[in-house]
Amino acid sequence: MSESPAKIKRERVWELDFIRGFCVLLMVFDHFMFDIAGIYGKAWYEYAADSGASNAQFLYDFWQSARNYFFYSGLREVVEPFVVIVFCIVCGISCSFSKNNLKRGIEVLICAILIFAVTSFLGEDMTIRFGVFQMFAVAILSWCIIYYSCKRDMKKTAIVAGILGLIIVIINYILMSIYNNNNHAFTTDSNWYFIGQFMVGDSKSLPTADYQPIFPYVGFMFIGSALGPFLYKNKKSLIPWLGKYDWHAPISLWGKIALWVYISHQVVIAILLSIISYLFLCPSSFVII
């Protein structure tokens, strides 16, 4: 006797989990290096210098290397937005697989609010007002509006979302080319920063520790949502033969739990670096800031 459809477990599309997991791991590494370059490295050096510790010069060199060779490197300026774009497209494709995108969007919105609330206690420089979660909350809930406006027709939704996504991306790059090099801005009112960098200019001066504006990233998420129903009409892997033997499992695992990794990874990194600080670099002292 064959199993009823309700009992048949749908196979996950391994390449989406793999790509999502790879992006998540790059994000964790990026934030790990940011914490060293922007917070811990400086604190470790200042502590060692004030106490006359012999490792003060080593910590200074380590801190400067993290800043110069990674965080402010040209490679990171290229790789970071590319990774975010890929992540947005995969998030959009995932709309084709979710049983309830409205619920998914509300969950992301709740997480975004919690992240803002928690980071606001860490100071103005650490507050996340419009980062990845806030952007995804806007993107998914906006997609839901399109979906219900199209009377839950996935193909019509894909067409509308795809057109809107292309418009958003094209408008963003046109306006960025007009207000280029951060020398000009569309407005001097910083309250509009969440729309796009072209609105207010230099992203480094914006009041948010993580910045992923609506233009262009929601556009890329919409484009991904337009690809989903056509690429994954049967909701099966496009390259099942390449996913055999679970070679991808160590990375795909992180893609499956991407939401929880994003919420918790900074706490885990802080605990890890504090323990390293206490045991090795600044003995018996939890040097954080």
The tens place of each residue's pLDDT in the chain, 289 residues long, gives 444 444 445 678 999 999 999 999 999 999 999 888 888 888 888 888 888 888 888 888 989 998 888 888 888 888 999 999 999 999 999 999 998 999 999 999 999 999 999 888 877 777 898 999 999 999 999 999 999 999 999 999 999 999 999 999 999 999 988 886 556 788 878 889 999 988 887 766 777 888 999 999 999 999 999 999 999 998 999 999 999 899 999 999 999 999 999 989 988 998 898 888 888 777 766 665 5
Q: Considering the domain boundaries, does residue 150 fall inside one?
A: yes
Domain boundary residue among 204, 231, 258? 231
Range of the structural domain that residue 243 is part of? 12-97+236-289
Tell me, yes or no, whether 131 and 161 share the same domain.
yes
Q: Considering the domain boundaries, does residue 217 fall inside one?
A: yes
- What residues contact residue 98 under an 8 Å CB cut-off, 6+ apart? 104
Tell me, yes or no, whether 92 and 105 share the same domain.
no
Q: Considering the domain boundaries, does residue 276 fall inside one?
A: yes
Tell me, yes or no, whether 118 and 131 share the same domain.
yes
Element (H, E) at 258: helix 258-276
C-alpha torsion angle, residues 241, 29, 111, 225 (rounded to 10): -40
What is the spatial distance between Cα 173 and Cα 81, in angstroms, rounded to a whole number? 14
| Nearest Cα residue to 20 out of 66, 83, 97, 64 | 83
Burial class (CB in 10 A: 0-12, 13-18, 19+), 52: exposed
Q: Give the pLDDT score at 10.
A: 61
Tell me, yes or no, whether 247 and 190 share the same domain.
no
Say if residue 213 is preceded by a cis peptide, omega within 30 of 0. Answer: no
Domain count of the fold of the chain: 2
Q: Considering the domain boundaries, does residue 6 fall inside one?
A: no
Q: At residue 12, what is the residue type?
A: R
Backbone φ and ψ of 185, nearest 5°:
-145, 155
